Amino acid sequence: MDLSIVIVNYNVKYFIEQCLHSVKKAVEGIHAEVFVVDNNSVDGSCNFIREKFPWVNLIANQENVGFSKANNQAIEKSAGRYVLLLNPDTIIEEDTLHKCLAFMDSHADCGGLGVKMIDGKGQFLPESKRSLPTPGVAFYKIFGFSALFPKSHRFGKYHLGYLDEDQTHIVDVLAGAYMFLRREALDKTGLLDEDYFMYGEDIDLSYRIVKQGYKNYYFPGTTIIHYKGESTKKGSLNYVLVFYRAMIIFARKHLSDKNARLYKILINVAIYLRAALAIMRRFVKRVYMQFVDAVLIFFGFFAGLPLWESMRFDKQNYYPDEYLYFIVPAYIIIWLTAIYYSGGYDKPLRIWRHMGGVIVGTLSILVVYALLPETLRFSRAAILFGTVWTMGSTGLLRWVLHLAGIKDYQLETGRLKRIVIVGYAKEADRVSQVLSETQIKPELIGYVSPDEVYDTPFLGSVSQIDEICRVHQVDEILFCAENITSQRIIDIMTRLTNAPVNYKIAPPESLSIIGSNSINTSGDLYTIHFNSIGKKPNQRSKRLFDILVSILLLVSFPVWFFVVKRPLNAWYSLLLVFIGMRTIVGYETSVMGHSIDLPALRKGLLSPATNSRMINQSDEKTDRLNVMYAKDYKLSNDLQILIKGFRYLGGYY
């Protein structure tokens, strides 16, 4: 056996589909075996792999044992003289494995081999080659010097930015996404260290390979795509904690006591610093648009009230200070809340939703105003002024920032995403049909032939893709993997690096189309997927429904006390709904869809199957009801389920 390939999967079913398709082509002519170790995924990965890739040796764990242990499980069962540890969110070229085998066979001193990696936009990934994270190297990385001076021999050591990415080099550390290892070296170093749950195990193993007298090589003779999927969100607090704790494990095991203590202090400082930054970044990202709107609205009142007082009452300070500093902020909160629930902050921004939110907010303020005692009714005119100012100022701000190209303030212009499909007519037609049934509705410009010779209905050949993109102002290229090689796809992506184009790849016979825009984004996914209830507007509407219904029922408890079974339990459950721990309508809990991937919901007081629970409903029918509920979500469905199952709000006897 020449080669054993090991892939660890965790809830990335659509990524691993593309990965395995590329692996299947790449192992042709090689005596190889492929292992997939699934760490208890809940997205139906195991059944999917068994059905679509029966040639894969699947190891299905009943719990998430971590990356290191999962790899070791397969390595222990493997028989290849070389072992490749491969991430599921990668695509390799057809000749990648052949080239790596040839390199390893001709370099007896090579214990581990890494290759050139690009992201889904075609950009080079700097982690393709790395140095050991010694205290000095780690310091420059943690405090941003390596980002400021990437080509410096001193500051840029972490990613070895001063080494040519197109030349072969001896390096310290291999990337865990693609580690081509010599079995003989593994026998001497031992397998991956299972003290590392995720992150750090690649650094540890690379270091042990060097300690055994072997060398690690960076080999740019072949290129792979590494999407960096959902499990790798570098801005998240969890990533910061897990990654830096892995660095502490490495220091404790491999550095001297003195250096280890220094390293631990440095890493702990980094953890708190990066954790604080991650929390702050997340908070700012969530509220800064609302904060800017609030400041702008308040400024309007602050500057406009004195003018209104002078014009209307011929004096200033007519309104008490409490009006400006307490009542006006209350108005602002109501306006911002209404804009939020109307979808005015959803991206891309929609002016009509924003304006609608302001109007709803104004109506809410006027209703509250009418209920207030006379002493607190300051001015309806000020409310109307505030409405006009809020609409005009915040609306104008959005237009200005949109025209300036500010990312989070881009308005929906009605322009559809312009897409070309690279593939033969039959497969391109199939992919076009899949595309039409996904959550996006693009403008399909046409097809591009993989061959130089083409006829109707093709716009041109793939060698003309640069010109086609420029002439037709293409936003995205969609490749049919059945008709064009991974090597050609990667070649095009690296050639068009500076073009404002995104890329997607459609595996053969698949209902998914995957791509990724940058190193920092999770993979973009187009798929026929039961996710309408998972869309932000639907989640927001559902949450608003929960709040209003729970408030109404909590205050009217005496009215329905004798109607509902277990009324005290129902009142307590409604309280949990109000604070966001439960939802009025959720999935039927007895069966959660088996291999069906449904968007997450809080546990419901009722479910689509509520009214048939008492008649011993089959699991199959329950699954069907859950899927229908998730696929075609409407608030009217929740209301209907609530009315029909009202007496069961407190549960069943």
Q: HEC string of 412-474?
A: CCCCCCEEEEECCHHHHHHHHHHHHCCCCCCEEEEEEECCCCCCCCEEEEHHHHHHHHHHHCC
* CATH of the domain spanning 418-527, picked from 3.10.420.10, 3.30.390.50, 3.40.50.720, 3.40.50.300: 3.40.50.720
Using alpha carbons only, how large is the chain's radius of gyration in Å? 29
pLDDT given at position 536: 76
For residues 597 and 44, is the Cβ–Cβ distance under 8 A?
yes
For residues 418 and 473, is the Cβ–Cβ distance under 8 A?
yes
Binning pLDDT at 50, 70 and 90, where does residue 516 land?
Answer: low
Nearest to 585 by CA among 616, 526, 626: 626
Helix (H, G, I), strand (E, B) or coil at 588: coil
CATH 3.40.50.720-classified regions of the chain: 418-527
From CA 135, how far away is CA 261, in angstroms rounded? 10
Average of per-residue pLDDT across 292-299:
94
229-243, 251-265, 363-377, 548-562: which has the highest mean pLDDT? Answer: 548-562
Q: What are the residues whose beta carbons fall under 8 Å from the beta carbon of 484, sequence distance 6 or more?
A: 422, 423, 450, 462
The whole-chain average pLDDT of the chain stands at 83
Rounded percentage of the chain residues whose pLDDT exceeds 70: 84
589 φ/ψ angles, rounded to the nearest 5 degrees = -80, -15
Of 84-98, 240-254, 378-392, 530-544, the range with the lowest mean pLDDT is: 240-254
Model pLDDT for residues 423-460, shown as the tens digit of each residue: 999 999 988 888 877 666 778 899 999 988 777 789 89
From CA 408, how far away is CA 283, in angstroms rounded? 15
CATH 3.90.550.10-classified regions of the chain: 3-129+165-228
Model pLDDT for residues 76-111, shown as the tens digit of each residue: 999 999 999 999 989 999 999 999 999 999 999 999
Model pLDDT for residues 12-25, shown as the tens digit of each residue: 888 898 899 999 99
Please say whether the structural domain 3-129+165-228 has been given the CATH code 3.90.550.10: yes
pLDDT given at position 271: 64
Q: Which two tokens stand for residue 140?
A: 């420059």
From CA 385, how far away is CA 335, in angstroms rounded? 13
Which one-letter amino acid corresponds to residue 497?
T
Indicate whether 493 pLDDT > 80. yes
Model pLDDT for residues 222-241, shown as the tens digit of each residue: 999 998 644 444 445 555 56
DSSP state of 518: S
Model pLDDT for residues 152-187, shown as the tens digit of each residue: 878 888 788 888 899 999 998 898 899 999 999 999
pLDDT given at position 609: 77
DSSP state of 409: G
Q: For residue 551, what is the enclosing H or E element?
A: helix 536-555
Nearest to 398 by CA among 362, 330, 344: 344
Binning pLDDT at 50, 70 and 90, where does residue 527 land?
Answer: low
